[in-house]
Amino acid sequence: MTLNFDHLPFFDHHTHLLFTDKTKITAKELSMNFLHGYQDMDPFEQGLDATYAHGRASERQLENIENLGVVKTVVNYMSQFLGCEPTIEAVVEARNERIKDVEGLKKYTKDLYEDQNIVGTLVDWPFNEDVENESVFPVPVYRMYNYEDVYFEQLKTASSFEELMTVLTKSVRKAINEDGYIALKCHVAEHYTMAVRNVTDEEAAIQFVAAQNGDYTALENVYFAAFRNLMFEAQDLDVPIHIHVGSTGFNRQSAAFVPEMDPFQFAPFLVSDPQYVKTKIVLLHQGYPYTRHASLMAYSFPNVYVDMSWTLPWASSIFCSCIEDVLSTAPHTKIFFGTGQHGLPEIAWTASKVAKTCLAEVMNKMVSLNLMAPSQAEETAKMLLYKNAEALYDSKKKALSNIR
C-alpha cells in the first residue's frame, strides 16, 4: 500500500494578502515575488520601502532569482497546469492570456484553490485593511492581528508607558472580541532579539522617554515590557501569539538581527515565570534555518507550536527533510503547514502540492522502515495538513463572512 495525500484538504496556516486587481504580470514580477533579500540596484537615498514585486534588481541578479529552486518549481507546476512549456516566459504568457479581467483573476484563483483542495487561510491582516479585500480568496478567511502597528505608533505619540499599554490593550481586545481576529502576531526577533528579558511596567515607565528619544536599550526594554503584558492578555483572550523566528531572507534593515532569531534564545524567558506556559506560542517559519531547534522547543514546552510556512514552498527541494526534522521531536499535533504567500495565488497552490508530495514521501518512508503503521502515517498527514489548525483555533475560529 502506497500512501497518497493529493486528495486531502490543505489549510494555509500563514499567508498575506493577494493582489486584487493585478490581472497581468511580467516574468520579472513573478520571480521578484520570491526575493526576500537585498536588491542590488536599490537607491540608498530611497531606502527599502519599494514594492518587492517591482524590484530594482540588475539583470544579473534577476537571472539569479529566476534560477531559485522555488521559482523553477513554480514554473514547472504552472506549465503543467496551463499546458505550456516550462519556461518563465511561457507560463507568464499563458497566465496573462487566461486572466482577462478582475473576475478572471478571481476565477483563476478559485481554480487553483479547488485544484489543491485548499479549504481555508489564516491571513496576516494589515492594520486598517479593508475587509472587502478578503473577497479575492475563494475560501474562508481568518485573520491574525499584528499588534505592533499600534505599538510603534503609540511609542511615538503616547505620553507614558501606561498610556501606550492602555491603547494597545484596548486595540488587542477589540480585534479579538469584536473584529473576529483569532491570533496575535509580533516580530520580536526582527526588531530586537529572541532573548526576551523580563522587564516590569515600572522599569518601562522610567525608560519610556529614553525609548522615545531612540535609546536602544530603552527601546528593547519598553518593547519587552509590552510583550510580557501581552503574554498574559493572550491567555485571557484564549488566542495564540505567532512569533516570526528564524529568517525568511534579509536586507539592509534586518541583516543585523539574523543572529538573534534562534528560537532556543526564547527558552530562558519561557521558564522564568511558570505562568508563561499558559500562553500558546506559534513559532513561525519553523525557525528556519534553526528547524530542529524549533522542533525541540515544541517538544520541551507544552505551549509551543511550529508553523512551517515560507520554508513551504521556498525550500521545496529540501522540504521532505524539513518535515522529518520537525516530526523528529515535536508532537505531531503541534505542527502546521502555511505558505507565506503574498500577492500571487500560485504560491499557496504550489505549497500545497509540495506539502502533499513530500508528506507522502516521508510517510511512506516511515511505514517502510516500520516506524509507523499506515493508519498512523495517514493520521499524521491529516494533522499537518488541516486538523491541527482546526484544533488550535476551534474556540475562536470565525470567517469574515460570519462577522459582518
Summarised one tens digit per residue, pLDDT across range 284-342 is 999 999 999 999 999 999 999 999 999 999 999 999 999 999 999 999 999 999 999 99
Report the pLDDT value the prediction gives residue 35, as an integer from 0 to 100.
85
Banded model confidence at residue 135, pLDDT cuts 50, 70, 90:
confident
Give mean pLDDT, residues 248-270. Answer: 84
Report the pLDDT value the prediction gives residue 43, as an integer from 0 to 100.
53
User: Element (H or E) spanning 367, and its range?
Assistant: helix 346-368
Q: For the whole model, what pTM was predicted? A: 0.94
Residue 247 has pLDDT above 90, yes or no: no
Is the CA virtual torsion 363, 367, 369, 371 positive or negative?
A: positive
CA angle centred on 198, ends 192 and 201, rounded to 5°: 100
Q: Where are the alpha helices (DSSP H) in 130-241?
A: 148-157, 161-177, 188-191, 201-212, 216-237
Of 40-54, 149-163, 190-204, the one with minimum mean pLDDT is: 40-54
Report the pLDDT value the prediction gives residue 397, as an integer from 0 to 100.
56
Residue 398 has pLDDT above 70, yes or no: no
d(CA 68, CA 65) in angstroms, rounded, equals 5
CA angle centred on 197, ends 191 and 201, rounded to 5°: 95
Banded model confidence at residue 68, pLDDT cuts 50, 70, 90:
very high
Bridge partners (DSSP) of residue 185 are 146, 242
Quick: pLDDT tens for 379-396: 999 999 999 999 999 765
Report the pLDDT value the prediction gives residue 394, as an integer from 0 to 100.
76
Report the pLDDT value the prediction gives residue 46, as an integer from 0 to 100.
46
Banded model confidence at residue 367, pLDDT cuts 50, 70, 90:
very high
Banded model confidence at residue 254, pLDDT cuts 50, 70, 90:
low
3-state SS assignment for residue 283 = strand
- Measured between alpha carbons, how far is residue 92 from residues 28, 95, 346 in Å? 10, 5, 12
First-residue to last-residue Cα distance in the chain = 47
Bridge partners (DSSP) of residue 183 are 144
Q: With contact defined as beta carbons under 8 Å apart, do 303 and 279 qualify?
A: yes
Give mean pLDDT, residues 183-206. Answer: 96
Give mean pLDDT, residues 151-163. Answer: 98
C-alpha cell, 228: 510580557
Peptide bond into 313 cis (omega under 30): yes
Banded model confidence at residue 48, pLDDT cuts 50, 70, 90:
very low
Of 32-41, 161-170, 215-224, 226-235, the one with minimum mean pLDDT is: 32-41
Comparing 54 with 215, the larger pLDDT belongs to 215
CA angle centred on 193, ends 187 and 195, rounded to 5°: 120
Q: With contact defined as beta carbons under 8 Å apart, do 8 and 117 qualify?
A: yes
d(CA 294, CA 246) in angstroms, rounded, equals 9
Q: Which domains does the chain have, with CATH numbers?
A: 24-98 (no CATH), 116-403 (3.20.20.140)
Report the pLDDT value the prediction gives residue 166, as an integer from 0 to 100.
99
Quick: pLDDT tens for 88-134: 999 999 999 999 999 999 999 999 999 999 999 999 998 777 777 88
Share of the chain above pLDDT 70, in %: 92
Residue 259 has pLDDT above 60, yes or no: yes
Report the pLDDT value the prediction gives residue 261, as an integer from 0 to 100.
92
Report the pLDDT value the prediction gives residue 396, as an integer from 0 to 100.
57
Closest-CA residue to 319 (of 70, 121, 58, 127): 70
- Measured between alpha carbons, how far is residue 183 from residues 4, 235, 383 in Å? 32, 11, 19
d(CA 249, CA 151) in angstroms, rounded, equals 24
- List Cβ neighbours of 170 (8 Å cut-off, separation of 6 or more): none
